[in-house]
Amino acid sequence: MASEIPTHVITLVALPSQGKTLTQGALDAACDAAAAAGFTPTKPLWLEAGEAADIGLYANGGTSIAIDEAGVDAILQPLDGFRHRRLLVSDMDSTIIQQECIDELADELGLKPQVSEITERAMNGELDFKAALRERVALLKGLEVAALERVYTDRITLMPGAKTLVQTMREDGAQCLLVSGGFTYFTERVRRAVGFHADHANTLNLHAGALDGTVLEPILDKESKLASLKGAAAQMGIPLEATLALGDGANDLPMLQAAGLGIAYHAKPSVRAAAKACIDHGDLTVALFAQGYRRSDWVE
């Protein structure tokens, strides 16, 4: 080899909790696919037997690998010296939590189908995010503030693996930032529940104890998320290669593309197609395996 150190690594993960086991046959098939794509694979290294493994790769002209293994997530990345990322910037709705908060607020008014349809189109990049947010918030006018607490308490659930991901990275010295196009009422609570260092989101305007149908300007959008990633990295004095970004919607895409490791998490089709890496099957702990953490390293 021209270099003793592989230029890339592909991590394969099949979580038993998802009813899937990573077999030696799957690793052999991945090595064959890597070779066909122009890489020279090394011997697979188990991160967790039957669950996750790394395959080192020498990029002899290869740039991407198609892995066709049901229930297996495969994340390809260059070995740039920053395997354990020093900064995590994550979206909240449908990423760290399992819901879209604005849709659940709309349900309090019987408007969930109407608002959810707008949310889906906005997250897939079919609508301007700012205009779509203003339109949806306008439909919430008159909703009492007490409804926000009901929604958070009764409807919002953390994504499997969220606390393990954040706590493990935090224990390893990483900074963890929650950045959402949603609302501060929820990001503040999710930040505390999961263990993020800080959160940034939009603020709902109130009048007489109810939502007034507007959101505080300027609206936090995709460019704001990208700026948060770059600003936090600069403040820490680290390159973007040392960062990890997670998200599922079109307003996450710029930060996913800019981060050293940008992962589209159970994402909308347009986001999956444009992201560097995807988690389509497993939970958020796949992002730990992708950084080379073994299960014994996890903080649970």
- Cβ atoms within 10 Å, residue 43: 8
- Cβ atoms within 10 Å, residue 217: 10
Identify the burial level of 162 via C-beta atoms within 10 angstroms of its C-beta, where 0-12 means exposed, 13-18 middle and 19 or more buried: buried
Instruction: Please state, in angstroms and rounded to a whole number, the distance separating the CA atoms of residues 158 and 112.
Output: 20
- Cβ atoms within 10 Å, residue 58: 18
91 as an active site residue: the answer is: yes
Query: Which of 54, 73, 91, 199 does the annotation list as catalytic?
Result: 91
The three-state secondary structure class of 118 is helix
Instruction: Please state, in angstroms and rounded to a whole number, the distance separating the CA atoms of residues 78 and 11.
Output: 11
93 as an active site residue: the answer is: yes
63 backbone dihedrals φ, ψ, rounded to 5°: -130, -25
Query: Which of 54, 73, 93, 252 does the annotation list as catalytic?
Result: 93
Catalytic residues: 91, 93
